[in-house]
Amino acid sequence: MLGRALVVALFLAVLTACSAGGSFPEPSESSAPTAAPIRIPADGVPLTSFGFTNGPVREFSLPRDSTLKAVVDQTNNVTMVLTSPTAPEAYAYLQRALPATGFRVTAQNAATTTMTFTGHGWQGSFTGNPRSAAVLLRPVG
């Protein structure tokens, strides 16, 4: 009997507390920052378009006219060897595309067509010669 009375008293106390305050506050939108949208240049395509499933496949892009000679698509290593465009053209594209898609260029040398960059949990490098160019992406950490 005492247990039943205690349950009823608790129920009435909760009911009274809920109705005494009037109404509940309206839910508010989260103030958490949202990520900026990825803006791949019009002359580029994301790695998903080349069939990649690993790496920053929506954030990293290559020139639309890229021809891939060899690829590695693994969780710990994504590599692309390009036979076109030329190394200087691919380098110029990456100089524009990387910052636009949220990557930070950490070093670059136009004379040797080399650069390193980081972003989206990945670090990368680019290098080229007169016959081909290569991109290597590896997870940070």
* Domains contained in the chain, number: 1
Which residue range forms the structural domain that includes residue 72? 44-139
Residue 112, strand partner residues: none
Nearest to 116 by CA among 133, 129, 132, 98: 98
Q: Per the domain annotation, does 64 fall within a domain?
A: yes
At 130, is the secondary structure helix, strand, or coil?
coil
Is residue 37 in a domain?
A: no
The pTM score is: 0.74
Please tell me the predicted confidence (pLDDT) of residue 35. 62
Q: Rounded to an integer, what distance in angstroms lies between the CA atom of residue 127 and that of residue 134? A: 6
6 assigned to some structural domain: no
Task: Please give the full DSSP string across 62-100, using - where no structure is assigned.
Answer: EETT-EEEEEEEETTEEEEEEEES-HHHHHHHHHHHHHH
Q: Is residue 100 part of a domain?
A: yes
Q: Is residue 91 part of a domain?
A: yes
Neighbours of 37 (CB within 10 A): 7
Q: Is residue 17 part of a domain?
A: no
Provide the pLDDT for residue 36: 66
CA distance 120 to 140: 9
99 inside domain:
yes
CA 85 from centroid of its chain's CA atoms: 25
CA-based radius of gyration for the chain: 27
pLDDT per residue, tens digit, the chain (141 aa), is 544 543 344 333 433 444 444 443 343 343 444 566 788 999 999 999 999 999 999 999 999 999 999 999 999 999 999 999 999 999 999 999 999 999 999 999 999 999 999 999 999 999 999 999 999 999 998
Within-domain flag for 2: no
